[in-house]
Amino acid sequence: MARYFDVHPRDPQPRAIAQAVQIVRDGGLIAYPTDSVFALGCSLGNAEGKQRILRIRHLDDRHHFTLLCKDFAQLGQLVQIDNHVFRAIKAATPGSYTFILPATKEVPRRLLHERKRTVGVRIPDHPVALALLQELGEPMLTSSLLLPGEAEPLTDGWQIKELLDHQVDAVIDSGECGREPTTVVDYSDGAAQILRHGAGDPTPFE
């Protein structure tokens, strides 16, 4: 059964965050709130965690995972980014955007797009997600919690606990969560290309 953590949406309890992060460090898979939608997350080195996400969402190995970062220092270790792209992304983050960029050697090969050697990265604007990343001390492998056959992502923590009780190891519920996936901007070729219109305002990248 999954552990259930009920945390404050703006000032999450440090003890609960530390316990949830320990589950991640121990190889667990968590469901947690972000500024876009609930997401599934595990550590970068957790190959089985990645496969569990694919099974829950009924996805294949071509799925483009996102690496969730707490700040630009972490993001800069994972992707190659030139000055004009940096300025554009910096102006829009933290926020409900995922940016696809060429990956550095710090990213495990199994997480890269097979042909382009790119990866998705984002810095969330949600106190609970940022608290988890701060406690973890490294980026987290993540994917939106959109179940197969569903048009809308799940937004209720207790419902997620009931549905995925034996498929995830913990659910962090703050009662406040976005209801629309991120806007995805592909910078892999140097110019912005919007792949998905979502919660983030696409205007700066059009």
Rounded to an integer, what distance in angstroms lies between the CA atom of residue 82 and that of residue 71? 17
The stretch 118-124 carries a mean pLDDT of 95
Q: Report yes or no: 172 and 5 within 8 Å, Cβ to Cβ.
A: yes
The reply to whether the predicted model has a pTM over 0.75 is yes
Which is more confidently placed, 149 or 205? 205
| Domain architecture of the chain: domains with CATH | 3-205 (3.90.870.10)
pLDDT given at position 154: 81
pLDDT given at position 113: 73
pLDDT given at position 30: 98
**pLDDT tens digit string along 151-162?**
788 888 999 999
**pLDDT tens digit string along 81-119?**
999 999 999 999 999 999 999 999 999 888 887 778 899
- Tell me: pLDDT of 121 over 90: yes
The tokens for 167 are: 């498929």
State the pLDDT confidence band at 131, using cuts at 50, 70 and 90: very high
Q: Report yes or no: 119 and 143 within 8 Å, Cβ to Cβ.
A: no
Q: Report yes or no: 67 and 120 within 8 Å, Cβ to Cβ.
A: yes
pLDDT given at position 10: 95
**pLDDT tens digit string along 20-74?**
999 999 999 999 999 999 999 999 999 999 999 999 999 887 788 899 999 999 9
Rounded to an integer, what distance in angstroms lies between the CA atom of residue 79 and that of residue 74? 9
